[in-house]
Amino acid sequence: MTTIVDRPPAIHVKDLEKSYKDLQVLRGVDFDVAPGAIFALLGSNGAGKTTIVRILSTLLRADAGTATVNGFDVAAQPTDVRESISLTGQFAAVDEILTGRENLVLVARLRHLPNPGAVADDLLTRFDLTGAAARRVSGYSGGMRRRLDIAMSLIGTPRVVFLDEPTTGLDPQARNDMWQIVRDLADDGTTVLLTTQYLEEAEKLADRIAILHEGRIIANGTLAEIKQLVPPAEVTYVEKQASLEDVFLAIVGTDTTKEQS
């Protein structure tokens, strides 16, 4: 886990609301994310996780409420927000015709960075892609594409990274590799907001976990704090410690009716 310094939040969300026609997806969402923390937003499909990420990354406007990222208002200062963040969506946004290195060089040039080739080579090494640098991305595995996608999103050294279900569709080894990448980002001082449906992912990575259900945050705290919401089950002589999955299902119930996210 990362060490959290008592500073103003890197992300501040207050009373956030969003509807799609008659469907109210967010119903007054509140949370803060400390600088350099890994914050997991946990919820079922349709809970509103992606909607929150899209609002915080300025891709969508909220109907009500306020949100700031790195001290910039997402509605009033969208350009400043975009310059200080990166976003990795649920599907890798890479050019399959180009090689891995060419993808990185292209993004570095678009960001007007000096010596884009050196930037690309450094990221290829960091993400263990040097051996595949000259290969077209169309021949990459799912885990390699995801690593390249995140490497591309880190060009320019963003202070906040949004990872929207980054391990969806990955095999167990690729998922473990991705978890290490997320830990490394936080160790370097990057703030990470991670959305996930995988309870184990939140349990292993997050400094704080927020559970989003039916458009509201219904639990927010450290893993230990959230586990305390459900009393331990008792057997004859053994006390069972509740898992995060036990807590999640106890809080939200077993109704996973899908809403639009």
How do residues 14-35 score in pLDDT, each as one tens digit?
999 999 988 999 999 999 999 9
Does residue 253 sit in helix, strand or coil? Answer: coil
- Strand 191-196 to 38-42 pairing: parallel
Query: Which tens digit of pLDDT belongs to each residue from 224-235?
Result: 999 888 776 665
Does residue 142 sit in helix, strand or coil? Answer: helix
Could you identify the residue written with the tokens 């649920």? 90
Residue 19 CB contacts under 8 Å (≥ 6 apart), including other chains: 25, 26, 63
HEC readout, 157-208: CCCEEEEECCCCCCCHHHHHHHHHHHHHHHHCCCEEEEEECCHHHHHHHCCE
The reported pLDDT for the residue numbered 46 is 84
C-alpha torsion sign, points 159, 25, 66, 3: negative
Tell me the pLDDT of the chain (261 aa) as tens digits: 444 446 789 999 999 999 998 899 999 999 999 999 999 999 888 889 999 999 999 999 999 999 999 999 999 999 999 999 999 876 667 889 999 999 999 999 988 999 999 999 999 998 889 999 999 999 998 888 888 988 898 888 899 999 988 888 778 888 888 888 899 989 999 999 999 988 889 999 999 999 999 999 999 999 999 988 877 666 555 566 778 877 887 888 765 544 444
Q: Give how far the C-alpha of residue 105 lies from the chain's centroid of Cα atoms, to the nearest Å.
A: 24
CA distance 40 to 69: 16
Which candidate, 147, 134, 146, 139, places its Cα nearest to that of 99? 134
Instruction: Count Cα atoms within 13 angstroms, Cβ side, for 212.
Output: 32
**90 within 8 A of 164, measured Cβ to Cβ:** yes
For residue 233, list its beta bridge partners. Answer: 240
pTM: 0.81
| Cα 94 to Cα 23, 97, 99, 148, 190, distances in angstroms | 32, 9, 10, 8, 22
**86 within 8 A of 161, measured Cβ to Cβ:** yes
Per-residue tokens: 145? 């594409």
**162 within 8 A of 57, measured Cβ to Cβ:** yes
